[in-house]
Structure 1
Amino acid sequence: MKPFRTAALALCLAAPAAAGVDEAIDRHVLPGLAAFAAATETLAQNAEADCRPEALQPAFQAAFDAWMRVADLRLGPSETGALSIAFWPDARGFTPRTLSGLIADQDPVARDAAAYAEVSIAARGLFALEMLLYDEAFAGYDAESYTCALVTTVARDLDGQADALVTVWAQDYADTLRSAGEPGNATFLTEDEAIRALYTQILSGLQFTADQRLGAPMGTLDRPRPARAEARRSARSLRNVVLAAEAAHDLAAALAEGLTDGDLPQTAAAMERVRAAAQAVDDPAFQDVTDPQARLHAEVLQQAVRGLRDAIGAELGAPLGIAPGFNSQDGD
């Protein structure tokens, strides 16, 4: 194990913290963003060749898979960039309303990918594409239709967003994290601030998965809300839960590689429990949570996700000097 020491009120991890940041960026963040950009490029190219739903759905699924590796990074450029890539939750239905308005007006912006960057975020990104490709109210279009052109433009716009996110991370923000504590770095005044920021992403992502990806469709026992499941139209709600958990686990392992030689047996076991609990869920879109037995399976999965969060806190957070009661929502 690499040397480090803890203090009650502050982390003191100068050299190991830098190593942990490097591992997180080089093994997880930058490769994940690059894979997402490659997947969106394929999606845009496929849309230009054939923008009909049946032709484009496989590339859409691949792009969404790639996104989930970095979806819960809300740090630096990703904090704002993720909003238009994945506008969810959308409890008020802004996405269908905005898309319906564009189609009803035959708005020419649908044929201009550059101008489309100024459109409401509700009509951009993965969830706008999901609506157009899978929802019965939109997906019946043909190859010569306005909606088909709109799909192509949304795919191009998404590819542009992915490229921009990769660029700003690779050319700027990665160095901001790596240079934490150096003169001139006003974002991270100490090295421990950078490692704490990345650690926070892990915990907050898992909390979001438990509370929103699972909690939103589960609702309450008396009032389940299956219509609020993430990506239910494309039947990937369950898949997103598992991929988000795996992404958090991978980022934790990358940090641990630099800080504790990567030995996180409790975390690995907790991740296996998440996968096992997911296998017991029958409906990949969580539309069966109105059934008591199906709801129980969802609750077990939710508990497993929270267990993964707790395991990471014990094995990675504790060595960092971060107490088990650390609140990932406010950084305390």
Structure 2
Amino acid sequence: MIKLLQGLLALLLLAAPLARAQETALPPPPPLDPAAVRSVMRHAVEDVIRPGYADLARDAEAMKDRMERLCAAPSPEGLAAARDGFVTLTDAWARIEIVRIGPALEDSRFERILFYPDRKGLGLRQIQALLRDEDPAATQLSSLADKSVAVQGLGALDYLLYGDGSDSTATEAGAYRCRFAQAVAANVARVSTALSDGWNAPDGIGSAMIGFGPESPLFRTPDEAATALLGILVHGAEAVRDQRIESFYRGPDRQSFPRQALFWRSERTFPMIAGNLEGLRALFDGSQIATLLPSDPLGTADSIDFLLSNMARTARGMEPQAEAVLADPAQRQRLDYLLLSGKDLIQRLDGELGGAIGLSAGFSFQDGD
């Protein structure tokens, strides 16, 4: 608790220069330097985004292999290995899922990997129905891909490996459940590879971000390319607050829903939040987007980096069970800190950083890709 209070104090100290600076109008920023923007785009794509998707594709393929071995020879050891693979895979997804543009928006790829939030429990009901009926179509990659996206991805794997009856996958009695999970893992591997390939394609979005110009069908100016990158950061910060936390906890005076938290069964709720924040920090630092600031009198870059670091550290320090967190006043205070800091993070990215590099003050990242 002392460290948390220290973090809040540091946050207030970081906000003090902003309050003073707001008393004096800042001059409009100069036009963005195309060479500087191109360098930032190259760092973002080549140093962060493409490697992130490559990691996801690698870990998804490894998960598929683990499921194949488990189903071929069911055992407690094989199930433990599959669960370890799920942890590794979801860690990789948490770091890169913040990039919600380009290939992720095509063919419902994002939803095929993770259908969430699912407040009406649509996915769970469909998964349970498939298990009850032992529908053979759910055990084959080709036919599973034609079913609802709610049963195709990591949410399905979370239930199949950790939900009611999941221990049966270590025995012959759980053969259908295992084959279902095997097909899901194969589908996640297929989609992950498509995402990685899309970002590496010579005519894909990665090349377009780096090679922006008048002839580009996607990004004609430095401003458009910089806006796309900033939009990833802002959307990512919004998703952490609005989807990862507020999906089950909206504040001390609101009803909580621990079983609506992402991956509560596998106790991966808070590692996923931390991974999202670490992914945002990797993109913010790795892209060197702060170098586009003509000056930084508000300490914007340091404030953003501090927030991302401290929020990720707080999430990593949470108890693993969402229900236990919500039952513990001290843990709930940490959630309140994440909500408060999340709001501040969005403002600093959207308002301060965006404004300082010349984006329209009224631009809404919710309106674009």
Report the TM-score range of the alignment, normalised by the length of the smaller protein. Answer: 0.7 to 0.9
Instruction: Read off the aligned partner of 1:129 and give its amino acid letter.
Output: L
Residue 322 of structure 2 corresponds to 285
Q: Aligned match of 1:180 in 198, 212, 215?
A: 212
- 1:323 to 1:273, Cα distance in 2 relative to 1, 3 A: farther
Letter in 2 for 1:247: G
Alignment of 1:93-104 (within 5 A): 93-104=121-132
Deviation at 1:114, TM superposition (A): 2.4
- Distance, in Å, in 1 between the alignment partners of 2:162 and 2:354 is 41
Task: Give 3-state SS (helix, strand or coil) of 1:82's partner.
Answer: helix
2:59 pairs with 1:33: no
> 5+ residue gaps in structure 1?
1-5
Q: Which residue of 2 aligns with 1:50?
A: 70
The answer for the alignment partner of 2:246 in structure 1 is 215
Counting aligned pairs with the same residue, the percent is 26
In 1: Cα distance, 2:129 partner to 2:272 partner: 29
Question: Equivalent residue for 1:72?
Answer: 98
Aligned to 1:106: 134
- Note the residue ranges of structure 2 that are not aligned, 5 or more in a row: 1-25, 72-77
Name the stretch that deviates more: 101-110 or 71-80: 101-110
Q: 1:174 to 1:272 in 2, by over 3 A?
A: closer
Contact 1:23-1:257 at 8 Å conserved across structures: no
Offset, 1:139: 4.5
Match of 2:38 in 1: 18
In structure 2, the CA distance between the partners of 1:187 and 1:91, relative to structure 1 (3 Å rule), is same
Over the residues paired in the alignment, what is the CA RMSD in angstroms?
2.8
Indicate conservation of the 8 Å contact 1:219/1:225, yes or no.
no
Partner of 2:9: none
Asked if the contact 2:268/2:320 (under 8 Å) is kept, the reply is no
Deviation per CA, 1:96-155: give whole Å up to 9, x if none.
Answer: 211122222322223322232212101011111001111115553344311111111111
Deviation at 1:219, TM superposition (A): 3.6
1:204 to 223, 235, 239: 235
Closer/same/farther in 2, CA of residues 293 and 235 from structure 1, 3 Å limit: same
Distance in 2 (alpha carbons) for counterparts of 1:259 and 1:213 = 30
When structure 1 is superposed on structure 2, of 298-307 and 137-146 the one drifting more is: 137-146
CA distance in 1, matches of 2:104, 2:176: 31
The AA in structure 2 aligned to 1:152 is Q
The 1:143–1:156 alpha-carbon spacing in structure 2 relative to 1, beyond 3 Å, is farther
Q: Please give the per-residue CA displacement for 1:177-235, whole angstroms capped at 9, x wherever unaligned.
A: 2222241x222232321220111111111111112211121145241111111111111
Cα separation, 2, equivalents of 1:278 and 1:110: 35
The answer to whether the 8 A contact 1:280-1:297 is kept is no
Provide the C-alpha distance between the structure 2 equivalents of 1:46 and 1:123, rounded to a whole number of angstroms.
19
Deviation at 1:293, TM superposition (A): 3.8
Structure 1 or 2: more helix by fraction: 2
Q: Compare 97-106 and 194-203 and name the one that shifted more.
A: 97-106
- Per the alignment, residue 225 of structure 1 pairs with 257
267-276 vs 87-96, which deviates more? 267-276
Letter in 1 for 2:45: I
How far 1:294 sits from its partner (Å)? 3.0
1:177-326 matches, within 5 Å, as 177-183=209-215, 185-219=216-250, 221-256=253-288, 259-260=291-292, 264-278=301-315, 281-285=318-322, 287-313=324-350, 316-322=353-359
1:324: Cα distance to partner?
A: 6.6
Q: Give the Cα separation in 1 of the matches to 2:321 and 2:30.
A: 43
Q: Hey, what does 2:14 align to over in structure 1?
A: none
CA shift at 1:308, angstroms? 3.3
CA distance in 1, matches of 2:210, 2:259: 42
1:50-77 CA distance string (max 9 Å, x none):
1464331000000000011111211011
2:120 to 67, 74, 92: 92
* Whole-angstrom distance in 1 between the partners of 2:51 and 2:182: 26
- Aligned equivalents of 1:89, 1:182: Cα separation in 2: 38
What code does the residue aligned with 1:164 have?
A
Structure 1, 56-65 or 6-15: larger mean CA deviation: 6-15
For 1:156, the equivalent position in structure 2 comes to: 186
Larger-Rg structure: 2
Aligned to 1:61: 87
Deviations 1:20-55 (A, max 9, x none): 111110111100000000001110111111146433
Work out the number of aligned pairs and report it: 325
Question: Helix, strand or coil: the match of 1:18?
Answer: helix
